[in-house]
Structure 1
Amino acid sequence: MLPQPTPVPPVPARQGLVPDLLAGVGYLGRGFGMWITSPKLMLLGALPAVAVGAVYLVGIVLLLVNLTSIVTWATPFADGWAEPVILTTRVAAALVFVLVAALFVVYTFTAVTLIVGDPFYERIWRAVETNLGNPPTAPERGFWGSLGRAIGDGLRLLIPAVGVGLLLLACGFIPLVGPIMVAVLGALLGGWLLAVELTGFAFDARGFTVRERRRALRTRRGIALGFGAASYLLFLVPFFAIVAMPSAVAGAAMLSRDALERSTSASAGRTA
């Protein structure tokens, strides 16, 4: 029998964005707690992140090595400007490029790792659901069915990720505040995308579509943002992302149960 995490009650509804954001971070922290209660299970969840992370690390190094050439190619309009202006413009452009690239790296790292490690992460999710009580009966898809589901969800969620990337790229052209806006929006919007992606196991097992998943998470928008943004920032640290990945899956299972219960209560209230 799999070791079970410590029981985690749903986070009660709170007033105010900051308490909700902190509650979302708390779900990620509880996910990390499974390294104490279920270390072998979490170690299995770290293995896919190691394999995928090694490939991504090579890509990141290549990107950074060629960053100057890429930025110079992307800003030909600055060639005739004064040297201090050229330097300032291209440093800002490089920063924006790195921040936008970080969004795609984090999102695709998460999606690919979930696909590669689907059996391991499903076991982590199942352990959390079993501990919380009344776990859903997930449909038996088999390996190829699970792989197809994971790829399909990843592709459906890729479209908004591209939209967010284009928005951040446009914000980067705003003088002075552009890079700051890109950093803040990247963490928040990228965090929301991660929250939607990581909660897939719980919602899929209950027959929810991606659209219905988003709708349920909106009932806990602040908490979902806090959880997703914290996961996003941790995933930016290459080696720490290996430990954070299974923790985020566990925390997402807890967040999903909270959002599902809140969504069900809200629906019951409207029909009463």
Structure 2
Amino acid sequence: MRELAAGARYLGRGQRWVLGHGRWLGFGLLPALVTFVLYTAALVALAFWTGDIASWATPFADDWGSPWRTLLRTVFAVLLWLALAAVSVVSFAAVTLLIGDPFYEKLSEQVEESEGELPEGPDLSLWRGLWVSLRDSLFVLGRTLMWTVPLFFLGFVPFFGQTVVPLAGLCVAGFFLTLELASVALERRGVPVRERLRMLRQRRALALGFGVPLVLLFLVPFVAVLLMPGAVAGAALLVRDLTGAGDEDEAEDAEGATAAGSGPRTDRGHWPDPRTPR
């Protein structure tokens, strides 16, 4: 429970940070707004075509009598829309981060500088950085689908599909949304995407505490646009916890200003400097 609460606190701290730095909030809304318009159009179109897709996917039910044919196809359409909505939450963050990559990278850096020393990541060109982000986002999306597709079919199981499956889908979306958002700060540390996944698996409750409330909020129209800058800021704070820097920040705050004349922090947490040969 402490880890779940800690994840939720990082989400709240991120939102407070951008509200206290209105300039960053304002700039961060534009990439999210562009993505929101694209995704809204796609989901609205899907809502109109869902019935036809359900009929195409279930030809074996053409000869079924009423109400079973209608019931099956209604359940199929609802599950399909919910599954794609869950995937869209994770991919929304990925597309928004790609569109606003320079801004969100700078936002993440500013958050870390306000908490302590900023880790210096690999020196990549803009296009190389975009390619790495796209490649890693496709990896995260693929892992999300590995869970979402089986859950979609399990949704047809009576009772189990209407109780356990939606909760599991929410947790899957929350975990991978956290992974996507944390990638901004972890990529700066030179942490490969598979290692990021391993790190969050070890702190699964922390990731769920951050991601699950965000998924629920992202499902509310337009809220995703407003919360995206703060989500990136909160993920930067969460990454400092993952790499050990957050614990040291809290210890330093607890000590207060008793160490007069002490210089700036020179540690980078427990994760090694990516420029240092191993």
Q: TM-score, normalised by structure 2?
A: 0.83
Contact (CA 8 Å) 1:138, 1:206: kept in 2 or not? yes
* Corresponding letter in the other structure for 1:255: L
Q: Deviations over 1:40-94 (max 9, x none)?
A: 1111111101011111111111000111111122222222333122232222222
Structure-1 residue corresponding to 2:178: 195
Q: Secondary structure at the match of 2:118?
A: coil
Distance in 2 between residues matched to 1:30 and 1:166, nearest whole Å = 33
* C-alpha distance after superposition, 1:13-52 (max 9, x if no partner): xxxxx33223212211111112321111111111101011
Between 159-168 and 43-52, report the one with greater CA deviation: 159-168
Which residue does 1:52 correspond to in 2? Answer: 35
Q: How does 1:1-272 map to 2 (within 5 A)?
A: 18-261=1-244
Residue pair 1:154, 1:197 contacting (<8 A) in 2 also: yes
Pairwise CA RMSD: 2.1
**AA matched with 2:195:** E
1:189-246 Cα deviation digits (max 9, x unpaired): 1111111111112211111111221222233210111111122222222301101111
* 174-183 or 195-204, larger mean C-alpha shift: 174-183
Matched-pair contact (CA < 8 Å) for 2:112–2:118: yes
Separation in structure 2 between the aligned mates of residue 176 and residue 72 of structure 1, nearest angstrom? 23
Spell out, residue by residue over 1:168-206, the C-alpha distance to the aligned partner (whole angstroms, 9 max, x if none).
222122123313333211110111111111111221111
Provide the C-alpha distance between the structure 1 equivalents of 2:27 and 2:50, rounded to a whole number of angstroms.
Answer: 35
> Larger deviation: 197-206 or 258-267?
258-267
Distance of aligned partners of 1:176 and 1:80 in 2 relative to their CA distance in 1, 3 Å threshold: farther
Decide which moves more: 110-119 or 131-140. 131-140
Aligned to 1:6: none
Gaps of 5+ in 2: 248-268, 273-278
Matched to 1:128, the amino acid is: V
Task: Give the share of equivalent positions with the same residue, in percent.
Answer: 39
SS in 2 for 1:82: coil
Aligned residues of 1:190 and 1:229 also touching (Cα < 8 A): yes
Q: TM-score, normalised to structure 1's length?
A: 0.85
Q: Please, which runs of 5 or more residues in structure 1 have no aligned partner?
A: 1-17, 268-272
**Which of structures 1 and 2 has the bigger CA Rg?**
2
Provide the C-alpha distance between the structure 1 equivalents of 2:142 and 2:271, rounded to a whole number of angstroms.
29
> Is the 8 Å Cα contact of residues 18 and 233 (structure 2) preserved in structure 1?
no
Name the CA distance, whole Å, in 2 between partners of 1:28 and 1:206.
21
Q: Are the structure 2 counterparts of residues 239 and 209 from structure 1 closer, same or farther at C-alpha, using a change threshold of 3 Å?
A: same
Residue identity matched to 1:61: V
Which letter maps to 2:216?
L
Tell me how far apart the structure 1 counterparts of residues 164 and 102 of structure 2 sit (CA, whole Å). 38
